[in-house]
Amino acid sequence: MGRIIGAPSRVPEMAMYDVSRFVRRLVPALALVLAACGTNPVTGKKELQLVGEAEEIAIGQQSYEPARQAQGGDYVIDPGLTEYVREVGNRLAAVSDRKLPYEFAVLNDSVPNAWAMPGGKIAVNRGLLYELKSESELAAVLGHEIVHAAARHGAKSMERGYLLQGAVMAVGLGSQNQKYSQLYVQGAQIAAQLVSTRYGRDAELESDLYGTRYMKRAGYDPRASITLQETFVRLSKGRQQSFIDGLFASHPPSEERVAANRKTAAELGDGGDAGEERYKQKTADLFRRKPAYDAHAEGVRALAKGDYPAATTSAKRAIALEPQEARFHELLGDIELGQKRLDTALVHYAQAIRLQENYFKPHVQSGIALFSAGRRGDAEPYLRRSLQLLPTAPAHYFLGILSEERGKVDEALQHYEVAAGAGSDLGRQASARFVRLDLPRNPARYLQADVQAATDGTLYAILQNAAPVPLVDVSLRVVRSDGQRIVEQTPTFTLREPLQPGKVAQIPMVRATMRSPGDIQFYRVVVESVRAMPQQ
């Protein structure tokens, strides 16, 4: 339907608001809210619960694996350490106020951090374990995270999102892998959001309080919650970047938390297991390997700066100290891939996969290297395997190209659509490829067309490019209908100049005689063909 160019816009009169109608619409919504009221299993307080326990558990279960992959993968080189952390975690979970299917993992990430997902899925980074002095301090960390899950802190964060959506609906009714951090897609993005959730002051104090109580119930010395927070406050004042990026981003320490923990520990009384010697024994291999991981971190930083010789030296030093760590061989692969030495890169990635098959990155990097080497058929199984472990834009993007080359347009479109969800240059490339394939099928998605009339009766075709790529050879005509059939149409006009993304073209078509401004409703633009500008 067209409109008159230059015609004065009419501001509608404000109608009296029908309060009774608003109330009738609001009552069912209030009934749903009241039905969703429940009791917090930890605090015993009444609260709104829009996310049920089954949903909490399902969300945590679905997001746990991609979150661990995105945070460096499991720390598999020392399975005894993971078992130790699980033992401490299960000891605390057994005395918690809420029984959930708790799981505990140690992640191969040097950033000091720990997190909990809804449903009791908990992880501690290798980097945080270096900062602890005893098993009781480990218990303080895990007890804190258990409370985040048990007291529904993650679920409440999701509910706040639901409430925001509900508010919009009510208005409608009434009115470490930095390279890959922007390349996660689908469930990996949701998992990353859950991991990076920043809890408020009340939630942190609540987790400290009940976590310390769980420590006491489990037989640990509650004073460890004080020394742990004192350590974190000291490190936060030192502004260590690793802590700023990790634990402090989601669990900000404060003197208030130290004082609150001191008060709680005093109320609970002295005594309990500190476990200093046991912690030293269980983490001995972790500390023995620390120089190797420090060398690896140096290599990662050097690679980020493009200093390949320094990165290679650091990676080889790390391997000399610990040859069984897959990440060190993976780093050598990244260094070789960055220098286009594809065959050598593949050798290093293969070794990383042999050492840890269930980690996504060497698989997707192998796929990229093989694709770049022209071995596209060989790249496919690596790309598909990587998607099973963690969905990323590169894997979907290159699989999309393979599908497109085989004439499997629907399959290619699916891959490109997923890859386009990444906030990166690759995501934008995937979006452009999606449009080029989809444009012939659905031109109306990308080219918004309207007809307008000037006061002298001249009809204009108004075109706006809603696609992320330039459009060319737009062929169109203006037709007039009597409501049932076309009774008049202009000759086809072809716009040869590229129409850039977001730009508008105003094309004079024909002068029409209209009895009244309302006659413009009988005219419309018909786009016969359009294509995306070929890539340069």
Q: How far apart are CA 22 and CA 16, in angstroms?
A: 12
Q: What is the pLDDT of residues 360-416, one digit of tens each?
A: 999 999 999 999 999 999 999 999 999 999 999 999 999 999 999 999 999 999 999
Above 90 in pLDDT, residue 161? no
Q: What pLDDT score does 282 carry?
A: 98
pTM of the predicted model as reported, rounded to 2 decimal places: 0.82
Closest by Cα among 338, 313, 318, 342 to 328: 318
Q: CA–CA separation, 500 vs 466, rounded Å? A: 9
Is the pLDDT confidence value at 480 over 50?
A: yes
The vertex-91 CA angle with 147 and 107, nearest 5°, equals 70
Question: How confident is the model over 488-513, as pLDDT tens digits?
Answer: 899 999 998 999 999 999 999 988 87
Task: Please tell me the least confidently modeled range out of 115-124, 237-246, 418-427.
Answer: 237-246
Two tokens at 78? 């020392």
Distance of CA 276 to the CA centre of its chain: 38
Q: Is the pLDDT of residue 163 over 70?
A: no
pLDDT value for 457: 84
Contact 260, 203 (CB under 8 A): no
| CATH class for the region spanning 446-532 | mainly beta
Q: What is the pLDDT of residues 12-38, one digit of tens each?
A: 333 333 434 433 444 454 444 545 688
Mean pLDDT of 158-166: 58
State phi, psi for 37 to the nearest 5 degrees: -70, 140
- DSSP letters spanning 294-346: HHHHHHHHHHHTT-HHHHHHHHHHHHHH-TT-HHHHHHHHHHHHHTT-HHHHH
Which residues of the chain are in CATH 2.60.40 domains?
446-532
pLDDT, position 174: 32
**Cα-based distances in Å from 512 to 170, 299, 479:** 45, 71, 11
Higher per-residue confidence, 154 vs 320: 320
